Amino acid sequence: MYFFIEPMRESDVPRVQEIERQSFTTPWSATTYLRELRSPEHSRYIVARYSHARPADQLHEPEPRRNWITNLLLSRFNASAPPSPYTVVGYGGIWLTVDEAHITTIASAPEMRGYGVGELVLNGLIDLGLELGARFMTLEVRVSNVVAQNLYLKYGFEARGTRKRYYTDNNEDALVMWTDDIASPEYQGRLRQLRMLLADRLRRQEEKGAADAQRPN
């Protein structure tokens, strides 16, 4: 199996909402997503797509100036691009406020959890923040969502506050998590190490998927 990141398109919204309904008790409306996609100056959204094998346009090695994990992100954001033949299995978005990139949403399809999709999307959002000139990343997460918190902690997010009764479905508190300067040499060094590990994990999954596909039934 092969996962890759692309800008979210308007045609992706129905699938994104399907994953969102499986992931959140208060999903965003299609209208909200379309409004966000049509305001790329301050908000950006990406999707993780799935393919049984590496697509033809992904076979080349990324240019040196591009990051291996988001080699398509530097292409122009075109929300009205034609539909992709590859299934959306995760997504995420950010808002930019001055020098802060706020992660508004991030989720992966339930059947693809445990394969690194959420971590791949998080990396894409960090790259988007850097591309937009952000120095810090921030987000809210349910106090009960320990799995998500552990992923964020891994990538340098720290809990620095609490929003009481933030989630309207059950009045649960939210932890407010922040990174240090994502453009700093220290953070970039940490990011490189984590990405090497993620790249190896995804590569091994891809190789296993290819081997499994070649086995006789």
Say how far apart CA 71 and CA 83 lie, in whole Å: 19
Within 10 angstroms of residue 89's Cβ, the number of other Cβ atoms is 25
Helix axes 117-131, 185-214, angle to 10 degrees: 140
| Cβ contact 178:153 at 8 Å | no
Gap between the Cα atoms of 7 and 91, Å rounded: 9
In the set 91, 152, 155, 187, the catalytic residue is 152
Alpha-carbon torsion 78, 135, 93, 157, what sign? positive
The CB-side HSE value for 54 (13 A sphere, CA atoms) comes to: 12
Q: Which member of 140, 167, 172, 206 is catalytic? A: 140
Q: Is 187 a catalytic residue?
A: no
Residue 131 annotated among the catalytic residues of the structure: no
Catalytic residues, by residue number, are 140, 152
